[in-house]
């Protein structure tokens, strides 16, 4: 156990005891960096570990600095409403500068092997789902709502409700990418640096971006994801 992890053990133990049943909490499954602050109506059930093997440090939040030390000394916060929850389906790492906001009855689902670089922002008022093996560059945003309600002037009803975001397995979100509400991405989709994604991509193993959003190239996969292509029927992924 390295020094950074040792320093966060007291805070992690406190939050694990608040969030999980005692039998899980004592295994210290979630490590919270010393710069992480948790807000909102936290209770057992706010965080869910959907994995048969609960183990120490399987989830790391705000512990690592990220690329180029970009997260160093950057505060992280996680805020949940009473009916909101975060579900972790396996190992996960999110670097310093992390900002998570799950409001109303929103759900954030995080697949196995998800790793997000420094200063990621995740916000759900409905559903944000990150598939297995999703990775990102620094300073990305994934948000399934508009930040504020917009009302019909005639009767006051909300016209801009949240729309779920589903990011497929082994996708890569380039640094400074924003994925906005209603977007669905197929497996093995690469989003280029600085993209704003408002449309869905149902073509797997592809580069998707541009203005307007479109498939820029197919048959492309990150080198660290090449071996995972065997998880899919090759003619279906159009390689």
Over residues 31-73, the pLDDT tens digits come to: 999 999 999 999 999 999 999 899 999 999 999 999 999 998 8
* Those residues with Cβ within 8 angstroms of residue 138's Cβ, 6 or more apart along the chain or in another chain: 66, 67, 68, 70, 71, 95, 117, 118, 119, 120, 175, 176
Strand partners, 214: 209
Contact call for residues 81 and 48 (beta carbons, < 8 A): no
pLDDT of 236 > 70? The answer is no
Kind and range of the H or E element at 121?
A: strand 121-124
Burial class (CB in 10 A: 0-12, 13-18, 19+), 224: exposed
Q: Is 28 left (phi over 0), alpha (psi -120 to 50) or beta?
A: left
C-alpha to C-alpha distances, 136 to 45, 130, 229, nearest whole angstrom? 27, 11, 19
pLDDT of residue 232: 56
In the predicted model, is pLDDT for residue 234 greater than 60? no
Residue 227: band (very low, low, confident or very high) from pLDDT cuts 50, 70, 90: confident
Contacts of 14 (CB under 8 A, 6+ apart): none
Q: What is the pLDDT of residues 15-34, one digit of tens each?
A: 999 999 999 999 999 999 99
Long-range contacts formed by 178-184: CB under 8 A, 24+ apart: 178/140, 178/141, 178/142, 178/143, 179/140, 179/141, 179/142, 179/143, 180/143, 181/143, 181/144, 181/145, 181/146, 182/144
pLDDT band at 239 (very low <50, low <70, confident <90, very high): very low
Give percent of the chain with pLDDT exceeding 90.
84
> pLDDT tens digits, residue range 98-155?
999 999 999 999 999 999 999 999 999 999 999 999 999 999 999 999 988 899 999 9
Q: Return the exposure string of 174-208: e unless at least 16 CB atoms fall within 10 Å of the residue's CB, then b.
A: bbbbbbbbebbbbbbbbbbeebebeebbebbbbbb
Give the pLDDT of residue 238. Answer: 44
Mean pLDDT score of the chain: 92
At 224, the pLDDT band (50, 70, 90 cuts) reads confident
Six-digit token pair at 111?
A: 């697949």
Residue 127: how many CB atoms within 10 A of its CB? 16
Beta strand 47-49 pairing with 114-116: unpaired
Question: Which band of pLDDT confidence, cut at 50, 70 and 90, is reported for residue 231?
Answer: low
Considering the entire predicted model, what is its pTM?
0.92
What local confidence, expressed as pLDDT, does residue 233 receive? 47
d(CA 36, CA 125): 21
Q: pLDDT tens digits, residue range 189-219?
A: 999 999 999 999 999 999 999 999 999 999 9
């Amino acid at each position: 156990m390295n020094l950074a992890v040792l320093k966060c053990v007291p805070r992690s133990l406190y939050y694990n005891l608040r969030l999980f049943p005692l039998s899980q909490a004592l295994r210290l499954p979630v490590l919270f960096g010393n710069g992480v602050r948790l807000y909102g109506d936290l209770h057992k059930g706010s965080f869910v570990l959907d994995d048969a093997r609960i183990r120490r440090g399987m989830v790391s939040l705000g512990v690592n600095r990220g690329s180029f030390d970009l997260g160093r000394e950057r505060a992280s916060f996680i805020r949940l409403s009473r009916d909101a929850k975060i579900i972790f389906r396996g190992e996960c790492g999110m670097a310093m500068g992390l900002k998570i906001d799950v409001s109303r009855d929103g759900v954030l689902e995080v697949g196995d092997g998800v790793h997000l670089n420094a200063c990621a922002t995740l916000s759900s008022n409905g559903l944000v789902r990150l598939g297995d093996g999703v990775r990102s560059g620094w300073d990305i945003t994934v948000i399934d709502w508009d930040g504020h309600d917009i009302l019909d002037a005639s009767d006051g009803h909300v016209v801009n409700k949240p729309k779920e975001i589903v990011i497929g397995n082994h996708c890569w979100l380039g640094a400074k990418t924003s994925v906005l509400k209603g977007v669905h991405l197929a497996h093995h989709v690469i989003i280029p640096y600085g993209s704003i994604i408002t449309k869905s991509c149902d073509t797997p193993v592809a580069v998707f971006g541009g203005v307007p959003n479109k498939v820029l190239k197919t048959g492309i996969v990150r080198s660290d994801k090449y071996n995972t292509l065997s998880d899919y029927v090759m003619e279906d992924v159009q390689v």
